[in-house]
Amino acid sequence: EVQLVESGGGLVKPGESLRLSCAASGFMFSRFGMSWVRQAPGKGLEWVSSVSSNSENIEYADSVKGRFTISRDSATNSVLLQMDNLRAEDTAVYYCARDWQWLVHDSWGQGTLVTVSS
């Protein structure tokens, strides 16, 4: 069974940093791209970033480019999202997702809440 478990969310002040982690299990991690998708409270879905199976292809939404960094660790079967210079508008539930095809998110974690507030 595919499992994706996010961690690392919390309350931070504007300008601070946070690192999210997504632990993957139940599938061959090295064969799949991975993505982060977020959802602000009461709002819709917003794609944040994706990394291909071999890390050669990485993309970011314009809203986070230059502030967020996605990476993956094959030793621990995890995907990370380093979030720097956080803003109030980054407040959201952040979901980790497996990409069956590029940006076709066929499995999702339960999400982790990031709150940016002074």
**Residue nearer to other proteins on the CB measure, 86 or 97:** 97
We find the least distance from the C-beta atom of residue 43 to other proteins, in angstroms, to be 9
3-class state of residue 97 by DSSP: strand
- Candidates 47, 63, 67, 91; binder of other proteins (CB under 8 A) is 47
77-116 residues in contact with other proteins (CB under 8 A) are: 95, 100-106, 108-111
We find the least distance from the C-beta atom of residue 19 to other proteins, in angstroms, to be 21
Tokens of 51: 């990394």
- 108, exposed or middle or buried, with CB in 10 Å at 0-12, 13-18, 19+? middle
**Residue nearer to other proteins on the CB measure, 100 or 117:** 100
We find the least distance from the C-beta atom of residue 7 to other proteins, in angstroms, to be 15
- In whole angstroms, give the CA distance from residue 95 to residue 109: 6
Query: Which residues in 24-50 are b (16+ Cβ under 10 Å) and which e?
Result: beeeebeebbbbbbbeeeeeeeebbbb
**Residue nearer to other proteins on the CB measure, 70 or 109:** 109
Binding residues (CB under 8 A) for other proteins: these are 37, 44-47, 59, 61, 95, 100-106, 108-111
